[in-house]
A and B are shown apart, each in its own frame.
Chain A
Amino acid sequence: QVLLQQSGPGLVKPSQTLSLTCVISGDSVSSNTVSWNWIRQSPSGGLQWLGRTYYRSARSQWYHEYESSFKSRIIVNPDIGQNQFSLQLKSVTPEDTAVYYCARHVAWFDFWDQGSLVTVSA
């Protein structure tokens, strides 16, 4: 059973960087068959995929892929030693207020954490 546990501040000021970490239990961030993702849910209720990181041994390479509209201000990185991955979202505005989820993707998103509300406000 995979367990994901997220941590990070619940309040971020506008123009600052939102930083979240997701610790993985029951799997490895270096797994060759899955990817590790960040997804958010706005107050209106829709889910939005933000980005992911994953490793593929065939090329001994880490991949980082981001939703088109976030590419200029998002970083998703693995931390192999701590078996976790992180999200950095720069230059936030109140529109970035949402519940943020970390999730594992196989051919679908099969394990999610419980979600964390991040509010962007002065």
Chain B
Amino acid sequence: YVVTQPPSVSVAPGQTATIPCGGTDIGTRSVNWYQQKPGQAPTVVIYNSADRPSGIPERFSGSKSKSTATLTISRVEVGDEADYHCQVWHSTSGDFVFGSGTRVTVL
């Protein structure tokens, strides 16, 4: 099972960043999103497709359609610059699958 992400997204401060994660029938799966800053381990920003852990700003939101899950970052700040990885569990194989990651650059 493969999930695809664009390698990079650029956005101006205060604007909205939209990061897609594509996969067959991803709309039927629970999707998690991780933020990773240089030299650090990933941390979850969205779990179960649309839920935010405590401490994550409301500016971060998740949604999905039949074949695409989306992480949206509203009112982007310089501190949001990082790599973002989507992740699903493929029930047939039992594998956890990550997307290749999207680097968000704040212009």
Q: Which residues of A contact B (CB under 8 A)?
A: 37, 45-49, 65, 67-68, 101, 103, 105, 107-110, 112-115
Q: Is the CB of B98 within 8 A of A46?
A: yes
Asked if B64 is at the interface of the complex by the 8 Å CB criterion, the answer is: no
The dominant DSSP class at the B interface is: strand
User: Quick one: closest B residue to A70, CB to CB?
Assistant: B95
A68 contacts B41, CB within 8 Å? no
Which of B34, B83, B95, B97 gathers most chain A CB within 10 Å? B95
What is the total number of residues of chain B having a CB less than 8 Å from a CB of chain A?
22
Are B42 and A47 touching (Cβ within 8 A)?
yes
The prevalent SS among residues of A at the interface is strand
Which residues of chain B have a CB within 8 Å of any CB of chain A?
30, 32, 34, 40-44, 47-48, 83, 85, 87, 93-101
For B87, what are the chain A residues with a Cβ–Cβ distance below 8 Å?
47, 108-109
Please tell me if the beta carbons of B41 and A47 are within 8 angstroms of each other in the complex: no
In the bound complex, how far is the Cα of B88 from the Cα of A109, in angstroms?
11
